[in-house]
Amino acid sequence: MKVWKASVASKDKEGKEAIIDLEFVDYYDATNTNIILKTEYFQSIIEKSKNKDNYHLSGGLVKLSSPEGEDFSKHSFFLILGLDTNNMLLGILLGELEEHDFKFVGFYPPFLQNELEKEPDLIRGLPVLLLDKEDIWQSVNIIAPSIKQENNNEK
């Protein structure tokens, strides 16, 4: 099983900064298929973050590594993490393509791969659930790459 490793900046229960490490199963490796989500999908979920109390946008993707260990932190990747009403965290990893569409790169949690044999549409439907089924989510977080100021020592 190939996994993408993501580190996300967050706050713990006391409000202190914390880093959460998540592993996303490589969607193509698990299914031998690709899913491309149109720009409109991403625009719609961003719009929900402006209009719905349980949808949030943040810049907390601190680090992202491919299954081969390559650093993808400076590329256009986004996480969408949903905490459902049963306190289960589900998520997708999206990579922006040149055409501004998005490739479904990975899914979380890894144990969902075990469900693929029984329910092949389960993971394929996850992007739709995150967008269209507002009432099943306590919160949905759209997490963009962190923007860090680089220190230039130019004179």
Over residues 49-104, the pLDDT tens digits come to: 999 999 999 889 999 999 999 999 989 999 999 999 999 999 999 999 988 899 99
Q: Residue 52's pLDDT is what?
A: 92
Residue 151 in this model has a pLDDT that exceeds 80: no
Distance CA 39, CA 96 (A): 9
pLDDT band of 154, cuts 50, 70, 90: very low
The most confident of 83-97, 121-135, 136-150, by mean pLDDT:
83-97
Distance CA 6, CA 21 (A): 6
- Taking CA 39 as the corner, what is the angle to CA 121 and CA 62, rounded to the nearest 5 degrees? 85
pLDDT band of 148, cuts 50, 70, 90: low
Q: To the nearest whole number, what is the mean pLDDT of the chain?
A: 88
Residue 138 in this model has a pLDDT that exceeds 50: yes
DSSP the chain: --EEEEEEEEE-TTS-EEEEEEEEEEHHHHHS---EE-HHHHHHHHHHHHH-TTEEEEEEEEEEE-TT--B-TTS-EEEEEEEETTS-EEEEEEEE-TTS-EEEEEEESGGGGGGTTT-THHHHTHHHHHHH-GGGEEEEEEEEEP---------
Out of 35-39, 86-90, 120-124, which region has the weakest mean confidence (pLDDT)?
120-124
